[in-house]
Structure formats: C-alpha cells, structure tokens
A and B are shown apart, each in its own frame.
Chain A
C-alpha cells in the first residue's frame, strides 16, 4: 500500500506518456485520474494509520549508493507530516486531474498534459515521503522539472517559454542553496538520513563549521541554506518573481503547482527540518522576517493586479508568507495546518477562475469581465466561498489557521513576533480587499466585455464542477475538522515529527492575549472586504477612477501594479549585467580573447608571422647571403671559442638526445 502511493502516479505517467497515442486524450485522462483517485484513497488510509492511529513507519526500498560512511538508500518515511502532505497533494491532484480532462478536453495534446500532471504528483510524493535529504532532493528537482514542462505546456507561446525558463532558473538559485545545506548537514552529521540527523540534532547543536573561511554556527548556517532552498520553491521575497509569471501555464497547472504542491514544498522542508531549526534561533528569526515581508509585499501587490489569475497568484505568495513566518515562530504545526487549508481554498479559487476563463473564451482580464454572477451562479458561489475561506471568515477553513497564526505571532513577545504580527495584519487587510475586489470586478457590477464573449457564456460541465464542489466542501470543513488534532493544545497527533522546544512555543499564551488584539485581524478583514466590494462597485467606480488620476495615488498605483518594481530591478541590476558579463567578458574577452590568443589562434598566428619574417631573410640578393654566411661563421667560431664557458648550458649531446627522443627514436619500455 505504501509503495503503491508512489507507484500508481508513476504508472499513470508512464501509461499516459508511453501509450497516450493509443489511449487518446479521453483514455489518458481516465487512466491517470483513476490511478490518482486510488492513490488518494490509499493516502487517506495512510493518514488514518500513521496520523490518527499514531503508528509511523518506514519502508526500505533499495540501496542507492555506498561510499565510506555515506550510505544513501531509497526509503520511504511515513509520519504524520508526510501523511498530511500526502492527503493534501493527492486530493488536490486528483481533483485537478479530473478537472483537466474537461478543461483541456479540446486540446490535442491532452495525453501529454495528463502524463505531466501525473509526473508532477509522483515527484511531489517522492519529495514528501523520502526518508533522507537526498531522496527529498530528487523530488525537489523533479517538481521543478515537472513545473517547467507544465508551465511550458503550450510551447509555441514565447511568453510561456520565457516564464518556464524563469521558473526553472529562479528555482535553481534556491536549489543551489538547498544542495549546499545538504552538504553542510553531511559535514556535521556524517549522514543524510532524517532519523540520524534529527536524533543527533540536540547533541551537535553547538557545532561550528567553516564556511567561506568563516567559522559559523553550523545549525544557523544549515538553517539559512535550507531556507534559501525554501525561498526559491515557496516564492518567498527575493526569489518570488517566478510565481506570478508561472500563470502562463494552463489554469489547472496553476491550481496544482501554485496551490497544493510545488510551493508548499518549501514550507514542508522547514517543517521537516524543524528539529534543526529549533536549535538555530537566528535562522528562525530570518525565516520569520522573510515570511512576514513576503506576506505583506504580495498582499499589497495583489491589490491592484488586473489579471484574474495573477491576483490569485499573489494571494498564494502572500499565504505562503504566512506559513513561513509561522514556521519561523516555531509553530510548524500551524504552518502545515495553514498549508493544508490553503491547498483546498486556493485550488478552489484557481479552478473557479479557470471555470470563468473557460466560460468567457479565454478572457482573464478583470477589467473586461463583470456581471457574471447571474450568468454563472455556481461558479460565483464557489469563488465567493473560496474568497471567504481565504480571508478567514469565521468558521471557514482559513479562519482556523490564519487567525491562529496571527494570535501566536502576537503572543510571541519577540521582535520577529511583533514584526510578523503587524505585517500579517496589514496583509490580512489587503487579502480581504483584493479577494472581494476580484469577486466584485468579476461577478458583480456591469458586464464590461464584448457582447460576443457574453453570448457564449455557459456553466462549467460536470467534470469541472465536481472538483469545485469537493474543494468547496474541503474549504468549508477542513479547518474545523483539522483544528483539534493538528493545532489543538497538547495534541499527540504530530508525535515527535515537528520539533518545538517548550520555550519557543506560545500556543498557550496565544489564548490569553487581549480581546482587542484578538479581534483586530477580523475587524481589518471586514473593513478590507467592504472596501473591496464598495470601491469597485459601479456606484463608486467613477470616484475611484478620479482618485487614481491624482499624481500621488497614481504613482503609488503604478508602484504596486508593477510589483514593487522587483522585476525591473532584477532585470536592470542582475539580469542584463549578467548577460552583459556573459557576452562581453566571459565570451568575448576570455573565451574568444585571452584564451584564443594564448591558445590555438594565437600560436598559429605567431608561427605564421615568425615564418614570414624568417622567409624575408632569403631575399635573393647574393650579397645578403654572403653576409649571412659571414655572420653564421662568426657565430660558430665564437661559440667554439667560448665552448669551455657555455658547454654547461648547451651540451650538444643533450640536445641531440632530446631531438632523437622527441622523434620517438629512443628505445622505451613497453607500456603494459
């Protein structure tokens, strides 16, 4: 059963990729979806056994390679964290598979699409079930690869190619940090197995390690390097620019990659390495600060985006910031809980957006939508439900994780706690605003698009609406159902999976913060939501438009709309200088310059010049020849007369020996 969780998606991938030609689009869809749904049921069983019944297990699959004390093997580790991740990944992935069979039904390359989706799920499962860092790295790179293939699915579009390359490269930056972190772990622990590393963590927590010539605290270094990896994969501030661009892929891909699987890998990594992070308070502080800033940055950017999917993408980025700062405040359980809830309502939002785009014949600019509530009541309901869950409306899933996050950060009594609380509240306000702005612009108000697109309006077919319904149910109940066993006080669910020193945990204090602070996020949410609905309604839109034209608001708008100019700064200060360096310095000056002059081109050219000069000695004039003969004779006579003086350096016998040896005439031993 445990192996089947990995095997079935792999079979789905191989079947759809290898026999897609014979199966056809529909066949491939049925094959991969049914295999994935079996995987989902198996994952539920695993979750029940490992999580609820509390019997984690490991499966040794096969040895990988052995070298001295380096002993990497393929193995699966199923503990509560893996169980939660498996359920989240396979459930959302199954629904996305089902959704894609209809959404992508017209696409001629449907078998390829389904195989990529299964490949993606397979690698994600490798990532979460691996029992050592190396196997996790396989999954880590694998999801990067699969995301490249999926974002680039419509490979004839230049923008899709570019954003796929961008996603790949930005992820590579993080992967480099992760690889360094794994090296550092091996240096400190002499092992990459999770059980060895985490068991030794308390004993080795004062180790020092040499890094770039500095002696640094090993755990802090490891924590920071692993967080660099998480930054790339989870789109934290600094390496986040790939995530919104990855919207070039088909919508189900966005739902899969950017809601449930790929971006959660970073949070999963931090939660998995929690025993290490607990002994590296500096690294934890960095994680918390980065998470808080990401949450705030992405939420403010999401305020003024006009692309339907881009708004949701920035909301993903912002929610990931929440999860990461929860981990940074040592509340890994809250981070993972929010991850699980977020997977449901974000997948719901993305698939709902896909449904809108599908209905509107590919239109995804919110300025050209509007008034869809009456035409698409089902989609409207689902999107509204998703938005409510996202903003943390009471008793929906987002409420249980997000407000708890803010409460523990408020009760953390550290600089990072206060920082994340303030930024988190700001982000909650913005989240609410842009979510309801999205609802208002897309579904309410007047129709703003061309009449032809409205003429073709149709509600989503069954295969598309069923996933929406199931995800809607998930968004409604996952928070309430998971609250007690995942983040309840003193819950035994996590066992010893998630570290958390007693001195770091503030779950209890969070219950006793003042009522004002406790209600603040909700109040902000309500204000933000009503602003979002109000300012974008037809009644006020002309006033808002006039406001937008004033210089101050306009520059502010441009700043946010262009994503805090991160892309511009990256392109101008990193991208083009790097390309310029690559072309001018390393290509033109070094490869084609210095190395050519000192290498083949320079040597041949030098010999040719030398030959030209020596040839000119033979001018044809007899008196020149006579002079050269005289000179040569003089030189020879000089040498002969000086022979006792210089024979030490110029022993002619030695040179003869060299010459003969060079021609290969000297006897040599046979090479055996």
Chain B
C-alpha cells in the first residue's frame, strides 16, 4: 500500500466528514460524528506521512489528536445533553435562535 493510496483514503474520509457537516439537516449528533470523521482522516494522513517519511513526530501528533478528539467529543456531547434538557430537541432545523 503506497502513500498515495492511504492519502486518498484519508482525503476521502476527511471530505466525507466535511460534506456530512453541511449537508446534514437533521441531527446534531451526526455533526459531531462528522467532526470525529474529519479528525480521523487527519490522523490517518499524519500516520501515513509519518510512515512514509520515517519520522516519529507524526505519530506523536496523532496521539495528541486522539486525546483532543476524545476531550472534544466529551465536551460536545455534554453541551448537547444540556441543550436537549433545555429545548427538548436536538433537531438541527430548530437551532436558529441567533440570526444576523
């Protein structure tokens, strides 16, 4: 498996996450999942370059990103829970209280 193939995979995963954010109109959990997917793509990218360049720094960064992603999803889910407690829904269509 060459670098190009793994980069393709990571790019497609990242793009799927990106598209999932703004095409998704229903559930905010899907947005969080898309963000996780983007971070995953980035991780895969870092790891591929780390292997290809034979450098450990990429894997160190991947470990950091895993940690940050875990923390981020924890905080995001916590906010979500609180939001659900207040509004009773997490439908993304109804989250438009702040307009220009």
Contact = CB atoms under 8 A, between A and B. Distances in A.
Interface of A: 614-624, 626-627, 630
Interface of B: 18, 21-25, 28, 31, 92-93, 95-100
A243 B22 CA distance: 84
B31 A622 contact: yes
B22 A623 contact: yes
Nearest to B93: A621
A150 B56 CA distance: 108
A621 B92 CA distance: 8
A615 to B, nearest CB: 4
A147 B28 CA distance: 88
B95 A618 contact: no
B77 to A, nearest CB: 16
A616 B23 CA distance: 19
Contact of B96 (A615, A617, A619): A619
A630 B34 CA distance: 14
7 contacts: A614-B100, A617-B100, A619-B99, A620-B99, A621-B92, A621-B93, A623-B24
B21 A615 contact: no
A627 B100 contact: no
Contacts, number: 35
Given A619-B96, A621-B96, 19 more contacts: A617-B100, A619-B100, A620-B95, A620-B96, A620-B97, A620-B98, A621-B93, A621-B95, A622-B28, A622-B92, A622-B95, A623-B21, A623-B22, A623-B23, A623-B24, A623-B92, A626-B21, A626-B22, A627-B22
Contacts of A621: 92-93, 95-96
Looking at chain A's contact residues, is the secondary structure mostly helix, strand, loop, or mixed? helix
A246 to B, nearest CB: 69
B53 to A, nearest CB: 23
A630 B15 CA distance: 11
B22 A630 contact: yes
B83 to A, nearest CB: 12
A618 B24 contact: no
B99 A623 contact: no
Contacts of B92: 621-623
A596 to B, nearest CB: 29
Contacts of B93: 621
A626 to B, nearest CB: 4
Contacts of B96: 619-621
Contacts of B24: 623
B76 to A, nearest CB: 13
Nearest to A625: B22
Contacts of A617: 100
Contacts of B21: 623, 626
A630 B97 CA distance: 22
Nearest to B19: A630
Q: What are the 10 tightest A-B residue pairs by CB atom distance, in nearest-first order?
A: A618-B100, A620-B96, A626-B22, A620-B99, A615-B100, A623-B22, A627-B22, A626-B21, A621-B96, A620-B98
